[in-house]
Homo-oligomer: A and B are copies of this chain.
Amino acid sequence: MDFNALFNPTSIAVVGASRDPNKIGSAILKNLRITYRGKIFPINPFTEELQGVKTYKNLGMVKEPIDVAVIAVPANGVLGVLKQAEKKGVKFAVIISAGFKEVGPEGAKREEEIKRFLVGKKMRVIGPNCLGIMNMDPPYNATFIDPIVKPLEGNAAIISQSGAIMSAMIDAAIDKRIGFSKMISVGNAVDVDEAELVHALTDDPNTNAIFLYLEGLINGREFLRAAAKASETKPLLILKGGISTDGSRAVISHTGSLSGDNTVYEAAFKRVGAIKVKDMETALLLLRDAPKIRIKSNEIVILTNGGGNGILATDSLSETGLTLAKYNNNTIKELERVLPRGTEIGNPLDIRGDASQARYRDSLKSVARMNKPVIVLFSPQEVAMPIETAKEIINVSAEFSDVTILAAFMGGTRVEKSRLLLLENMVPVYSFPDEPVKVVDALYKYGLYRPPSFSTYEKTKISITKLSPKTNLFGLKAATFLKGLGIDITKGVYIKGQKDAKAAIKEIGFPCVLKIYSGEAPHKNRIGGVVTNIINETELNKAFGTIAEAAKINKVPLQGYELYKHIENSTGIEIILGGHKDKQFGTVVGIGVGGVNVEAINQMFHMIAPITDEDVNAFKESGIAKIVAASGSPQAVNTLIDSAIRLAKIMDKYERITDIDINPVVIKDNTTSALDLKIFVRA
């Protein structure tokens, strides 16, 4: 997809340009007049000119070609304008107008109509319900942001699902000296979506880092492809809004609680090398620095003139993947030479409250020679002058241009000018000791990103011979379907009634478990349809009665029984294995801890299909794998991940299967026994 006409249009029309300065169309026209060097065609049926620019009655009246039409008419007029635009040969329409999906059923209907109209058309659409689009080079501002907000030119791009967040960030960015390349508000994304825009910005030479504010995705798989591609060359920062508050974390399937679940998003972001940012503030820091900095080492030097600040930076570092660098002998010798006798040569390197700018310079040079990232902390104290110290840091940064040097100048009035000076001279500077640590950590992790490999997944073969199931399958039927899963499924037989029990028990043996068979009773336990640990015939006979009674009370048809070998779960570890077709990412499988530990071990390991080798390794290092191994079943770890891969492949191949629940899987002495299985299919 070629976005050149959108990013570098030769002409722009503003449909809904107005004389009323409070109208959005007026603000957009004003912003374009100030910023855009190409041709502007304001469209307004009732005027001859607006803001000194000749107007046209409608798009058709414009003789010249139009690359972009910005539409700011009332919602019910949008479709008509789109039709005109398409006829005119407009390449991109940007629908600013609100009043669609976001306002309820009536708006959703209008949005559907637009979607339908666009099928098969060449013209592409951004929005509706968006703030617009801004490019810094070549410059044009087709948003209704107040013209007093003048973003700086730079290499950070924004894609935002919220206009309010985009406008707030652009405004906040100015003081922080954050420069932008392109800013796009996607609104309801009726046509062009985040994935396409990430692709476009990946190809954009003016963009060195992409920020995305995301609430949900329509096509998660396509987005992941775009994100992975982007991460190969530039950092992609994602602020995810809308954390699921559903606490039922262990329920991976059926309930659908997983759709859009935050942990799945996290798994997805990690897989594609995206940097998940926690809040707008961190987003702004990273937006500023990510286009400029690459971190190649996780061994950091912290230089400080105050012990407390060094401690706070170190505390923050202890929550990251970073460590404190060790000095080599040369560095130690040099530091001993330049620092006052008796100074402890540690890391953090406390050069003391009486450190002059010269001491900052000399010690910074000494540690910079190690070629590791250096964080320089400055607290306004007696001798060191903020401006002079800043100048020395700027000089050393220039001299050691390969070394990443970041500064934190703590305080307000006393250090404000020096912070500005550092920024203007391309030295990243912060106000608190934990901030540079967070930035270095995020960018170091980004630097570790490699495109995922899928060798284990591809090597694992499953046989797909059966037909896709048409109804939900429980118990034995599910077990039969999932035979090739690689875990032991507890031996069981179907029996019609009590009279078949004798033959069956010969095969299964005591102790055994008797379960109701009923297509309408997925939760057999809850209705009293399961009797466990049956040790002799008398008990077995009693169990038939118990279950028949339960079926009656709960009004479920008694279609027979299933007889299983009894597995003592209290002596093993209980695991939950599940798969779900996520609306946004497709097949997602999970391995979690069940049984009594579920209360304390808040862990479910999610993997999106196709499962990567990195997922496989990460699972083997996970807390869940450690519990399984420590319980005396190290080989079961491999069985579990292999089964998860098979489960993912089955979910992917059988289109109608929406969920598979294998719960519990009892693990003991390296055997894995699935005690209950459920397969749910789309009706």
A interface residues with partner B (beta carbon < 8 Å):
22, 24, 27, 98, 102-104, 144-146, 148-149, 160-165, 167-168, 171-176, 213, 215, 239, 241-243, 245, 279-281, 304-309, 311-312, 314-316, 318, 342, 344, 352-353, 379-383, 410-415, 431-434, 570-571, 573, 593, 595-601, 603, 623-624, 626-627, 630-632
Q: Is the CB of A162 within 8 A of B215?
A: no
Q: Is the CB of B381 within 8 A of A164?
A: yes
Q: Is the CB of A308 within 8 A of B165?
A: yes
Q: A165-B306, A167-B380, A171-B412 are in contact. List 13 more A-B contacts (CB 8 A).
A: A22-B383, A145-B380, A162-B307, A164-B304, A165-B308, A171-B415, A172-B412, A173-B412, A213-B308, A239-B312, A241-B312, A596-B627, A599-B627
Q: Which residue in B173, B305, B414 is a CB contact (below 8 Å) of A146?
A: B414
Residues of B within 8 A of A573 (CB): 596
Q: 16 pairs across A/B with beta carbons < 8 Å?
A: A24-B382, A144-B382, A163-B381, A165-B309, A165-B312, A167-B380, A167-B411, A175-B413, A243-B315, A279-B312, A281-B432, A570-B632, A596-B630, A599-B626, A600-B623, A600-B627
Q: Is the CB of A279 within 8 A of B627?
A: no
Q: A306-B163, A600-B603, A626-B600 are in contact. Are A379 and B168 (CB under 8 A)?
A: yes
**In the complex, how many angstroms separate the beta carbon of A55 from the nearest chain B beta carbon?**
21
Q: Is the CB of B175 within 8 A of A412?
A: yes
Residues of B within 8 A of A632 (CB): 570, 596
Q: Is the CB of A353 within 8 A of B309?
A: no
Residues of B within 8 A of A24 (CB): 382
Residues of B within 8 A of A165 (CB): 306, 308-309, 312, 379, 410
Q: Which residue in B161, B245, B311, B600 is a CB contact (below 8 Å) of A601?
A: B600
Closest 6 CB pairs of A and B: A164-B306, A162-B308, A171-B411, A168-B410, A600-B623, A164-B379
Residues of B within 8 A of A571 (CB): 570-571
Q: Is the CB of B215 within 8 A of A308?
A: yes
How far, in whole Å, are A314 and B242 apart by their CA atoms in the complex? 8
Q: Is the CB of A164 within 8 A of B308?
A: yes
Q: Is the CB of A241 within 8 A of B414?
A: no
Q: Is the CB of B162 within 8 A of A414?
A: no
Closest chain B residue to A386, Cβ basis = B146
**In the complex, how many angstroms separate the beta carbon of A262 from the nearest chain B beta carbon?**
9
Closest chain B residue to A23, Cβ basis = B382
Q: Is the CB of A413 within 8 A of B215?
A: no
How far, in whole Å, are A542 and B603 apart by their CA atoms in the complex? 44
Q: Which residue in B103, B146, B245, B410 is a CB contact (below 8 Å) of A380?
A: B146
Closest chain B residue to A624, Cβ basis = B600
Q: Is the CB of A413 within 8 A of B381?
A: no
Residues of B within 8 A of A176 (CB): 412
Q: Which residue in B382, B433, B597, B624 is a CB contact (below 8 Å) of A627?
A: B597
Q: A163-B353, A308-B215 are in contact. Are A280 and B433 (CB under 8 A)?
A: yes
**In the complex, how many angstroms separate the beta carbon of A187 from the nearest chain B beta carbon?**
11
Pick from A102, A175, A381 the residue with the most CB of B within 10 Å. A381
Residues of B within 8 A of A352 (CB): 98
How far, in whole Å, are A352 and B379 apart by their CA atoms in the complex? 43
Residues of B within 8 A of A603 (CB): 600
Residues of B within 8 A of A596 (CB): 573, 627, 630-632
Closest chain B residue to A145, Cβ basis = B380
Residues of B within 8 A of A380 (CB): 145-146, 149, 167-168, 171
**In the complex, how many angstroms separate the beta carbon of A640 from the nearest chain B beta carbon?**
14
Closest chain B residue to A284, Cβ basis = B432
**In the complex, how many angstroms separate the beta carbon of A556 from the nearest chain B beta carbon?**
28
Residues of B within 8 A of A344 (CB): 104
